[in-house]
A and B are shown apart, each in its own frame.
Chain A
């Protein structure tokens, strides 16, 4: 895979170079969750990462915030190698990079009250000088995410799903991060609540100059929040472009199939659209197909796709694809 070179004018806050994460399964086999991904995330943007379950999108997010060590490749945050940093520098990185998880039920400690959940990071990084300052900060954060002061002494179970996700957002914001990995932050929520959280995340981004990596399987949600979108398939990035460009002119057959599979809440559109339903299931990431990984399900697969590792290249300015022989 060729190096990703920057496009546009934004400064890269995060550079991912040929990142791989393999998990050992059994004696000789390894599950190639992420298998050679290179991309840059620019300061202040939202990069959306979409793909089906098992494509490695969550693993990418987890490697970035150092929940996993990569098997190969590197991640640079502000020029600093995230995985080779130790001591105080590492602690600082932990503060600058935060994560919001999918399940607001599982990601909040049920035995802690909200103020302690939100202030945990403040305590660890000594961001408050007195008890009063700590509490003021918690109150301020709760109000920022649309909750109120009175909520500070309650336990997570006293909240609805949407409110819990707001607590998760407040916790991430508490340490004044620069970069947030949001892993399916709205997938567990009802549609009417989803929109509340998406709008909240957009507002916070503007007010706090945040950069997001927004991971989701929901293409419509990703389009709404992202400036650029990357599509993953079996551990690799197959397409990356500006959000509007990707949805208007998808080039890779997988992106096309994925977009055409999304049911659109518009009956006329639904009855008129041409659907490319792709057959079959995702191959195992333990033993991915050679060459182009999508070839086993690709509606336009060609013989050559099995032998060539498709190069990562810029099809038009800012629009990157894994150039499989079937369409290149």
Chain B
């Protein structure tokens, strides 16, 4: 090739830099992967001994070997139920309104800026909001209900954004077909748009809940403690009307709080507990995230407009 020798050398040098960068990129990837692996390996090696059925069915205790996460995972579950029941309808409704109904004016833009800001507000500030408003002003106390409401507000932006993106992915042609048949806006949304965007919305909800389940700061601020030796009262009762809401007002603990409590103890035995509980929490979170990712992958394959 009639290219001057020094030019060829210049090209070689440039291509060498390309290779160096690829190595750098792979190294970065490897670093992220190694951290992941190190985290898991550490949790498993330290906490594995504590992972037996007793661990899941015992309460916290002053003696590390007897301590378990029963109150913690039941508490987390109860709080998640409240969070889900509050965040999902509010988030989906907001998402529908912003995508299908809201006019493109200054007020809507303000609402959007607001939601985007809320997504970035530190979770502890939500805790302060809950402390001032829910615990003291509304007198709801340090209860399952307060925690559920707080976390619902925390993940609201996540659900809203996921809903909006899922709805936006539905092509306008479907809407036009519905309108052309005489459907009202709500009928179009309810019967057509929502159906196709449900998988995407579901993905967002799961991701939001997986985030909520791991949140510590807001619920610490409300006043959840890590040493609780009882469960919230059951939601069903033997007397009419067979449904009790007492559990909403009950004090509680949650998985992240339990972990936090145990990591703060100097005794080494509690480190094993913290490890085991952390492992359980991470597995729960990962399982939820994996389901969400799988859902998103499946729905992308099924829907071809």
* Mutual binders A and B: no
